[in-house]
A and B are shown apart, each in its own frame.
Chain A
Amino acid sequence: MTVAIRARKPAQIFFATVFGVALFAAPANAQKQGGSITVGLELDIPGFDPLKVGVFDTSAETAAAAIFDTLTTLDDKGEPQPKLALSWTHSDDFKTWTFKLRPGVKFQDGTPFNAAAVKANFDRQKDPANKCRCAFYISFINDVQAPDELTLVYNLKDPSVNLPAILTLQSSNNVVQSPTAWQTKGDDYNRNPVGTGPYILKSWTAGDRMVLERNPDYWNKGHPHLDRIVLKPLPDAQSRFASLQSGEADIVWDDEADADSIQKAQTDPKLTVHSYAGSGASVYAFNTKVAPFDDVRVRQAVVMAIDRKKMSQALTNGMSRPATNPYGDGSWVKCTDDGALPNDIEKAKALIKDYGKPVDFKMIVTATPRGRTVGQILQQFWKNIGANMEIEQIDQASVVPRAFMRQFQLTPWRIVDLADPDPQMYANFHTGSPVALANYSNPELDALLEHARTTADTGKRIEDYCAVSRLINKEAIWFWTFQNTYYALSSARLKGLPKIYGGVIDVSDVWLE
């Protein structure tokens, strides 16, 4: 796989150089108007009212990206750009952010969009009486104020140097919903969402299809391009791909677990493979308070025994990209030295020998085919160095409470693609955080994390985060197997799909050629 991609690179460079001039000469507005697409998603969407559904999954976020707008949006380079907000400034301590909003925008039901509407969205989620699960993700924000029609002030509890980037994800926290709509529709609002976005919900049959039609009054003139988007849950990976091949779907969600389909699509001239090498990774946390992982030698040995290349081959025909730090290729944090431990069986064996006691432990895996395979592969690696791992399969929903209560020796976890590493890194590694799963406390690590979240200079932040990576890798309190890669497969006619940030397939501005 990797070889194939490398082989194609020089060709791309060649074409880009030769035809680059011609490309620039082409009219800038090549987007075609009209037409309709069908999007094959993985899951049924439960609804859009944050009080009902709490958080959106990526399927709901794809729909939310079309129905709603966010204040800011990420450009191709990962920089925040204006959307409903036109500009922003911050205080010196990064605890107060002021946004100037776009004037003249209306929700699809005619309600004017203004600072009070955004504040109403926030207050509703924050209100303890509403017990919204979504409140957890805005706990770093103390309050939102609307001093005038188009000015919005965020007062943060913890500093955030990258707030505009964090607000770009089409999550239940960030999309702006019409306050009149949820007030008048009550219980029905969940399945009748109203936003300011480029598409309006026309009809929705549970479990089957959601039909979105072009918003003729969209504030961004000339957008969107399509007349209609149909979103369908297609839960079975094989029939989802078959629907794309047969032309019933124009773009479908996919992931590495379905490597066969992705590789088939790569060789099919009628299809395009959209992939995004995101930040974050599949990660695992040791409980450093429980034997044998209370000894750093054992942790290091266990990490050194992992051959990620072999594992990738076994899991996804080699498509999974090995991870040596928690940031990944999609992050702006790039380290010349991330302190990754080598894959070294002999050294690992020596460390185990040095430890002197038998190494027996249990590892939690999710009771899914993928979870079991991962468990078996790791078990084999660890057997090679004389460590005995017992697989404990538990239900996916039970992994979280077990991790929270620290009832594990080794547990799987995930760092998702976010525009800034701070929210997850701070939560996962700062002393006292509920998700600092390793039960590990180190003043040096805490200081680095605190410095990184209050420093504006990107270069200095990168230094901090690379030091964090070196420290975690050396102490081996967590380890990372594979980076996050997100996939969408589409007909070659579909153009204009942005990067799959956060795993969200955003079709709100695509067109058909």
Chain B
Amino acid sequence: MFGFVARRLLYLVPVLVAVSLLTFLIASLLPGDLAYVILGDQATPDKVAALRHDMGLDQPIWWRYLSWLGHVLEGDFGRSFRTGQTVLQAVSERLPVSLELMFLAELGALAIGIPLAIACAVRSGSAFDRFMTGSAFSMLSMPAFLSAILLIYLFAVELRWLPATGYVPFEEDPIGNLRCFVLPALTLALGEWPVLMRVLRSDMIATLQEDYIAMARAKGLKPSRILLVHALKPSSLTLVTVTGINIGRLIGGTVIVESVFALPGIGRLLLGAIYTRDLVILQGVVLFVACGYVLMNFIVDMLYAVLDPRIRHGHA
């Protein structure tokens, strides 16, 4: 097991180097010179040249990458030129919001997706199954900004049950905190559950045709026990993968959802950095998100090993 973990960790190194390089290139190759952005309407050529020199923008790109990477390895991700905040400060202020949002969204998606998947798998081919599969497909094609606005109009403007926008810190008011996350998490969950449901449904249908399930039925075990204990675990391998990958997608989803619901998370930080050309923050956040994604995949790999002993024992 230790060897397996160590090997997986080693694979991460080249991936992270590639991620950092791509991050840097994307940020550097964006149109619009940073010096012009900072100087705005007073970008005279001599001022631009002086600022480019100060910021090291006149150095070759590979040199800028290496020096940035060097600073990153020392834990210095740089400072926003707009606010003077360090990237670490900005990210750590906003990370809890996004993590809570993603956690609740994923929880919501699983809570909707798993029971529906089991129900569909049991009655596969029935009218209920066809209806759910169909509606899952239509939910999947609904963009987050649309479902967000619809939810706001229904629950905040018409019914007034939940706030339309805003954030309440957990330590200030735990109930208020959960209330402000209901609609954003639901918006994200609405886009996620169909995927989880469809994946689990098809795996489950296959599992239910296995001999050992027939055996369990023959032994006279309760159907609910067969479904939840004997069939769910072996069917959930793809579900775990998809859930892991979904977390990456969710980070993308948070950009939209956090803007619509005015939540102060990583997504908003990223969007603000793009609008204001705050490249230092942009690079830092993208690198951070990419690392999170890679790490998530690593955890999924580890979970495989837990779920399926064959992987753990070196057949992978």
Contacts and interface: CB of A to CB of B under 8 A. Distances in A.
A54 B37 CA distance: 12
Nearest to B165: A243
B84 A187 contact: yes
Given A208-B262, A234-B165, A238-B149, 19 more contacts: A43-B272, A44-B272, A46-B80, A47-B83, A52-B82, A52-B83, A53-B82, A133-B39, A133-B42, A207-B264, A207-B265, A232-B262, A236-B260, A239-B149, A239-B261, A242-B157, A245-B164, A248-B164, A394-B31
B44 A239 contact: no
Contacts of B83: 46-47, 52-53, 190-191
A47 B148 CA distance: 30
B277 A46 contact: no
A397 B149 contact: no
Contacts of B84: 47, 49, 52, 187, 190
Interface in A231-286: 232-236, 238-240, 242-243, 245-249
A237 B149 CA distance: 11
Contact of B152 (A49, A187, A242, A435): A242
B160 interface: yes
Interface stretch (A23-31, A301-309, A398-406, A482-490): A398-406
B42 to A, nearest CB: 4
B298 interface: no
Size class of the contact patch on chain A: 35 or more
Q: A interface, by DSSP: helix, strand, loop or mixed?
A: mixed
A360 interface: no
A389 B268 CA distance: 36
B302 interface: no
Given A207-B268, A248-B165, A401 B44 contact: no
Given A243-B164, A246-B164, A395-B32, A400 B43 contact: yes
A136 interface: yes
B166 A235 contact: no
Contacts of A184: none
Interface string B146-157: 001100110011
Contacts of B152: 238-239, 242
Contact of B40 (A133, A208, A239): A133
A240 B262 CA distance: 9
B34 to A, nearest CB: 9
B262 A235 contact: yes
Interface in A2-22: none
Given A234-B165, A239-B149, A206 B40 contact: no
Interface string B71-84: 00000000010111
B94 interface: yes
B100 interface: no
Interface residues of B, number: 47
B40 A55 contact: yes
Nearest to B163: A248
B304 interface: no
A183 interface: no
Contacts of A216: none
Given A242-B165, A401-B43, A236 B38 contact: no
Interface string A172-205: 0000000000000001001100000000000001
B87 interface: no
Contacts of B276: 46
A222 B20 CA distance: 57
Contacts of A54: 38, 40
Given A46-B83, A398-B36, A207 B164 contact: no
A496 interface: no
Which one of B156, B166, B167, B263 has the greatest number of beta carbons of chain A within 10 Å? B166
A242 B44 contact: no
A447 B31 CA distance: 40
A434 interface: yes
B39 A397 contact: no
Nearest to B160: A246
Contacts of B94: 206-207
A397 B37 contact: yes
Nearest to A206: B93
Contacts of A246: 156-157, 160, 163-164
Contacts of B308: none
A240 B165 contact: yes
A258 to B, nearest CB: 13
B269 interface: yes
A239 B262 contact: yes
B44, B165, B277, most chain A CB atoms within 10 A: B165
A242 B82 contact: no
A181 to B, nearest CB: 15
Nearest to A47: B83
A208 B93 CA distance: 11
Which of B39, B152, B262, B265 is packed against the most chain A CB atoms within 10 Å?
A: B262
Contacts of A233: 262
A243 B93 CA distance: 24
B90 A401 contact: no
B44 A404 contact: yes
Contacts of B156: 242-243, 246, 248
5 contacts: A46-B80, A235-B259, A245-B157, A398-B36, A400-B36
Interface in A382-424: 394-395, 397-398, 400-401, 404
B152 to A, nearest CB: 5
A381 B270 CA distance: 38
B33 interface: yes
Contacts of B37: 397
Nearest to B44: A434
A64 B38 CA distance: 21
A126 to B, nearest CB: 14
Contacts of A240: 165, 262
B169 interface: yes
